[in-house]
Amino acid sequence: MMKTRRLKAMVGVALCVMAGSSWAQMTPVGIWHSLDDKTGEPRGEIQIVEKEGVLTGRVLRSLRHDPHAKKTCEDCKDDRKGQDIIGMEIIRGVKPDASADNLWANGGKILDPENGKEYTVKMTLKDAGHKLQVRGYLGPFYRTQIWLRAQ
Tell me the range of 37-46, 72-81, 100-109 where mean pLDDT is highest. 72-81
* Dihedral-angle region of residue 47 (phi above 0 means left; psi in -120 to 50 means alpha; beta otherwise): beta
pTM of this structure: 0.81
Tell me how crowded residue 102 is: count the other CB atoms within 10 A of its CB: 17
- Angstrom distance (rounded) from CA 116 to CA 81: 8
State pLDDT tens for residues 29-65.
Answer: 999 999 988 888 999 999 999 999 999 999 999 998 8
Do 149 and 138 contact (CB within 8 A), yes or no? no
Domains of the chain: 27-149 (2.40.128.520)
Do 121 and 109 contact (CB within 8 A), yes or no? yes
Q: Parallel, antiparallel, or unpaired: how do β-strands 103-105 and 42-51 relate?
A: unpaired
- Angstrom distance (rounded) from CA 35 to CA 42: 4
* Whether pLDDT at 3 is above 60: no
Question: What is the per-residue pLDDT for 120?
Answer: 97
State pLDDT tens for residues 117-149.
Answer: 999 999 999 999 999 999 999 999 999 999 999
- Angstrom distance (rounded) from CA 146 to CA 36: 9
- Angstrom distance (rounded) from CA 138 to CA 119: 6
Question: What is the per-residue pLDDT for 91?
Answer: 98
